[in-house]
């Protein structure tokens, strides 16, 4: 059975979407940083040194992944918004990720 146009949402291709700035949205977040324990770790730093793509430098929305002069990766876990991208996107499966301990992490505001 074919779906009719009446059941689909009507989208105006000419309609301009509102501009959204990620930095502005990040300003609304509240962080409860666990300074004692990072919830993200690189499993084997030498794997990062050999990794050609280093796509972690690009896919993290807050730029938490930083390359060091020796090719190793430093993770600024304090700014993590817990999107989980690095948990699944590292091509070498070289990222160990878990939610922050209870009481720590990012707090989102809604509305």
Stretch that binds ligand SF4, among 2-10, 16-24, 25-33, 61-69 (CB under 6 A): 61-69
Residue 100 makes contact with ligand SF4 by CB under 6 A: no
Q: Which stretch binds ligand SF4 (CB under 6 A): 6-14, 19-27, 29-37, 89-97?
A: 89-97
**Which residue do the tokens 């720590």 mark?**
104
| Residue 62: closest CA among 76, 72, 73, 48 | 76
Binder among 33, 34, 38, 85 for ligand SF4 (CB under 6 A): 85
The counts of H helices and E strands in the chain are: 4, 6
Spatial CA neighbour of 32 closest among 108, 97, 105: 105
Residue 96 token pair: 């160990």
Stretch that binds ligand SF4, among 1-9, 14-22, 28-36, 42-50 (CB under 6 A): 42-50
Residue at token pair 């499966």: 93
15 vs 105 by CB, closer to ligand SF4 = 105
């Amino acid at each position: 059975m074919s779906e009719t146009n009446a059941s689909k949402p009507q989208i105006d291709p000419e309609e301009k979407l509102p501009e959204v700035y990620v930095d502005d949205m990040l300003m609304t977040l509240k962080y409860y940083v666990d300074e004692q324990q990072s919830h993200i770790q690189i499993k084997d730093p030498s794997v990062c040194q050999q990794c050609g793509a280093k796509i972690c430098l690009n896919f993290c929305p807050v730029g938490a992944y930083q390359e060091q002069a020796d090719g190793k990766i430093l993770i600024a876990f304090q700014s993590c918004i817990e999107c989980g991208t690095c948990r699944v996107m590292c091509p070498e499966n070289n990222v160990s990720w878990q939610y922050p301990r209870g009481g720590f992490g990012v707090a989102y505001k809604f509305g």
